[in-house]
Amino acid sequence: MSTQQTNTAAQSQDEPRIRRGRTGALLARWGLSGEWLVTAALIYIGFILFVAVFGFLFQPYPHTQMDLFNQLQPPVFMQGGSWEHIFGTDELGRDVLSRLIRGLRLSVLIGVIGTVIGAVLGSFLGIVAAHFRGWVEEVLMMLVDVQVSLPFIIFALAVLAFVGNSLTILIIVVGIDGWERYARLARSMVLTANQQDYVLAVRSLGLGNFRIYQRHVLPNIMGTLIVQATINLPGVILLESTLSFLGLGVQPPMTSLGQILGVGRDYLILAPWIAVLPGMVIFFLTLSIATVGDWLRDRLDPTLK
Amino acid sequence: MTRYILIKILRSTFTLWIVVSAVFLILRASGDPLYSIFSLGTPESTLDVFRAKWGIDKSIFEQYVIYLSDITKGDFGTSFFDGQPAWDLVVERLPKTLLLGGTTFVISVVAGVTLGAIAALKRGTFWDRGIMTAAVASFSMPSYFLALLLILLFSLKLRWLPTSGASTWQHLILPATTLGLTLSGSIARFVRSAMLEVLRQSYMRTARAKGAPKWRQIVWHALPNAAIPTVTVIGFQLGWLIGGSVVIETVFAWPGAGRLFITAIGLRDFAVVQMFILMVASTVIIANLLVDILYGLLDPRISVIGVKK
Amino acid sequence: MTEFNHHNSVAPSAATEKYLLEVRDLSVVFDTAEGTLGVVDNVSLKVQAGRTLGLVGESGSGKSVTCLAALGLLPQRGRVTSGDVMFEGRDLLKLSEAEMSDLRGCKIAMVFQDPMVSLNPVRTIGWQISESLRLHQNLSKGAARRRALELLDLVGIPEANARFGEYPHQFSGGMCQRAMIAMAIACEPSLLIADEPTTALDVTIQAQILELLSQLKTELNMALILITHDLGVIAQVADDVAVIYAGRIVEEAPVLDLFDAPLHHYTQGLMNSLPRVDRKVDRLSTIGGAAPPPQDFVPGCRFAPRCSHCDVSCAGERPEFQNVGGARRVACRHPMTSGG
């Protein structure tokens, strides 16, 4: 009735046009006007990416360089701090800022690669299951059941402790996390897509399976999968940081944010900055990605739960 | 109905078997545990005695068959480390884990459902935005970091609460808060969207048109409907809660099964690790079964559990 | 209670006394992202006790919103900006939410369009009917159950005892609507508002439900507001008719007069689109164009863009809703001459 009509009419229209400067116009083009949290989150993510990629250029010291005369020196904004070590030093006199920059790089790297692995693996299995149906699908759904029945962090801890933890194994383990979500999503979307008229039509034209998936099915489900990946990314970053915090993730001399935190935990009273700074960086990073992920989902794919 | 439940139980048992087997194979294939238990230079002859004693001199396949047949007899293996039955070690730690997990779970469900419902009812207001921002923040926060911050504030600075251990009820507060914040955040978020979905249904207007007071509309008409999807999600969160409690028990030195697990993986104590994983997987699987049954009880449209009419 | 109110109501003119419900100059707006939309514009309606008012208009014309506003059931973004709704000497718009709750489902009840989704899926039919009784009549559980069973009988649901404990999904559409009606009449309201009660139902069931409503109206001596887009339905059950277009009442008349000689061109258009047995029509004529959404309302007569008789004067000011003899009123500068 009229209620619904005005409702849809309201949704189809954008915000009322108001005078905006150039920044405003840019924000509007990206659908960001009024979304201050999302804008701030995007800026923060951009900053983190920049530091992760180019941070080594500004890194004041090598992250492993010890200065045994300046152990546990507070950051510049605390009493006793100095500009020499802006964020202070740790228990071995290593520069915390330098370690943050290095740790951030590895955390972001593992998070992103891990997410890509999970997304590709899961989506591939999901598509395979939807394509072949029958026992292939049965086996896959059973694997999903298995994955769901064991909290992933427990599995990851056991594997890393027993099998050993090189960076490669860590990335693979972290990458496996969440594959079942993509698999389920891809499977159900491909099942739907395969029923669609245009897919049936191109199939009847004799187009090969690979071409059909590449040209017609994948482009249609890609958006949803990417949104799902954005939603999963914070979880992957948190998983890596937790594993490293517990000492089973990234191993010295390499460092990641979680690992710095794990070390800082022992100096919580004497030098809280060692733990608090990387924790804040992680928290704002996952918060920003989650905020952007929600925003993307609402904009691109409201069907996704 | 009975047949359906039977099939479900069979399937669950099968899943459990796969989990146990997979973990067994991955762990046993990872190399000889004795080298990490005994110091270097221990004569091979001594090691062989222990290998024979613990049955790890046999091939992996033989070990696997023995392990499975032992399980059916109720023998879950012996800890390499202190020679006690793995079952006893894990079970004696369970009450503490259940205390922490149970407290967290109850508080989170109550807080999550309440906050989620409030956010939905006050949609678009300050309350809604506040609760939802807090919810996103709560599960973006690394739980161990939150734990450290709480310790820093309440134990080290204010000296109100103990940092570690489990001897008094005060010891429960910090770990339960840490776990509960994250859990209630994700529950609140889900309850909000489930409630919003329910609130725009026509039957809610019928309830108003009937003259039902506001609280009655919410408690008797909206919540029972919103509960249906929520139960599934809360069921899934149980796995998360167990995973999270492993980390939190470690940070707070809470003497539960999760901390035992972390110690055991450090010692490469096969039997204890496997026992713990078996326990966790069965808990999650049984919880999912219960959720299925509960789902059927809550939604009259489902005649046979899990099957929509 | 009623006595008391009669005594105290502000200057109750004889005219007000005559009507059970009188909606006066009611305007409703919806707040949306693109601004405020006037959905209902100075609508006035009168319902006499025991009579049936048919409120007819296309979807989106504001007919449901008018009634929802009168009952205080507007969705959150809807607001009443002017007017009052007099019922038994009280202005419903000035009542508190608690007072309205006491009234809704008791003195005024409502039946909605799609019965399948208007019933709560997780509550039994019996529970939902008993709820009305327990809310307003303080009946015990047992007494409410007995009365609910009687009501199920009354609305023609067979085997009431067995069906009492069933859920809405176990009922057919027609049976759901009967249950909705049972729920609505549970407390013997003096006014029942039925919002497109038959639209979602099969044609054969439609007639039965209309029949049931008419019969209940007589038995319980209720007034009935029947909201519909279907003049055929109006012809079957209404005593008086109000035609609504784009948020305004354009014509008001007793049912026989209206069908005899519609005065507004929109009413005529609606009538032409009705299939008739007494007249040979080559095709079902319809009005060109579609009912405009609120953001496309034009100044002056809102029907003008679709009207074949409009001229410059129609685009200027809002046409006055004028009396044209008897109980008839029309808002048109160039009303149809009788015969049409």
Q: Does B14 touch chain A (CB under 8 A)?
A: yes
Evaluate whether A107 touches A92 at the Cβ level (below 8 Å): no
Instruction: Please state the rounded mean pLDDT for residues C108-130.
Output: 91
Chain B residue with minimal CA distance to A248?
A: B266
Q: Tell me the DSSP string of B270-307.
A: HHHHHHHHHHHHHHHHHHHHHHHHHHHHH-TTEEETTE
More confident residue, A63 or C28: C28
Give the CATH class of A36-60+95-266+276-304: mainly alpha
User: In order of start, what are the domains of chain B with their CATH numbers?
Assistant: 93-280 (1.10.3720.10)
Q: Does B247 touch chain A (CB under 8 A)?
A: yes
Query: Does B27 contact A258 at a Cβ distance shorter than 8 Å?
Result: no
The predicted pLDDT at position A7 comes to: 39
C190 pLDDT band (50/70/90 cuts)?
very high
C5 pLDDT band (50/70/90 cuts)?
very low
The predicted pLDDT at position B39 comes to: 66
Q: How many CB atoms lie within 10 A of CB C8?
A: 10
Considering only the beta carbons, identify the residue of B209, B228, B309 that sits closest to C104. B209
How far apart, in Å, do the first and last CA atoms of chain B sit? 14
Chain C residues near residue A7 by CB distance under 8 angstroms: 32
The predicted pLDDT at position B305 comes to: 46
Tell which of B203, B297, B307, B308 to mutate to test the C interface (max C CBs under 10 Å). B203
Q: Does B298 touch chain C (CB under 8 A)?
A: yes
Q: Does C30 touch chain A (CB under 8 A)?
A: yes
Residue C284: pLDDT above 70? no
Contacts of A41 (CB under 8 A, 6+ apart): A287, A288, A289, A291, A292
Q: Mind telling me how many Å the CA of A63 is from chain C's nearest CA?
A: 52
Reported ipTM: the value is 0.86
- From the list A176, A174, A199, A194, the residue with the least C-alpha distance to A128 is A194
The predicted pLDDT at position A301 comes to: 62
The predicted pLDDT at position C279 comes to: 57
Dump pLDDT digits (tens) for A270-305.
888 888 888 999 999 999 999 998 888 888 765 554
The predicted pLDDT at position B303 comes to: 63
A250 pLDDT band (50/70/90 cuts)?
confident
The predicted pLDDT at position A110 comes to: 93
Q: What's at C258, amino acid-wise?
A: L
Evaluate whether C45 touches C242 at the Cβ level (below 8 Å): yes
- Give the integer Cα–Cα distance in Å for B134 and B155: 23
Instruction: Please state the rounded mean pLDDT for residues B42-51.
Output: 73
Dump pLDDT digits (tens) for A138-153.
888 888 888 888 899 9
Instruction: Please state the rounded mean pLDDT for residues B42-66.
Output: 76
B33 pLDDT band (50/70/90 cuts)?
low
Evaluate whether A91 touches A271 at the Cβ level (below 8 Å): yes
Residue B118: pLDDT above 90? yes
pLDDT-above-70 percentage for chain A: 88
Over chain C, what HEC string results?
A: CHHHHHHHCCCCCHHHHHEEEEEEEEEEEEEECCEEEEEEEEEEEEEECCCEEEEECCCCCCHHHHHHHHCCCCCCCEEEEEEEEEECCEEHHHCCHHHHHHHECCCEEEECCCHHHHCCCCCCHHHHHHHHHHHHHCCCHHHHHHHHHHHHHHCCCCCHHHHCCCCHHHCCHHHHHHHHHHHHHCCCCCEEEEECCCCCCCHHHHHHHHHHHHHHHHHHCCEEEEEECCHHHHHHHCCEEEEEECCEEEEEEEHHHHHHCCCCHHHHHHHHCCCCCCCCCCCCCCCCCCCCCHHHCCCCCCCHHHCCCCCHHHHCCCCCCEECCCCCEECCCCCCCCCC
Dump pLDDT digits (tens) for B205-241.
999 999 888 899 999 999 999 998 898 888 888 888 9
Positive or negative, the Cα torsion across C219, C222, C227, C232?
positive
C35 pLDDT band (50/70/90 cuts)?
confident
Instruction: Please state the rounded mean pLDDT for residues B254-273.
Output: 87
The predicted pLDDT at position C340 comes to: 39
A10 pLDDT band (50/70/90 cuts)?
very low
What ranges do the domains of chain A cover?
Answer: 36-60+95-266+276-304
What average pLDDT is seen over chain C?
A: 84
Using beta carbons and an 8 Å cutoff, which residues of C are at the interface with B? 71, 73, 76, 97-98, 100-106, 109-110, 112, 114, 117-124, 131-132, 135-136, 167, 169, 180, 183
Dump pLDDT digits (tens) for C209-233.
899 999 999 998 999 999 998 888 8
The predicted pLDDT at position A73 comes to: 76
Domain C2-107+187-330, CATH number (from 3.40.50.2300, 3.40.50.300, 3.30.565.10, 1.25.40.10): 3.40.50.300
C6 pLDDT band (50/70/90 cuts)?
very low
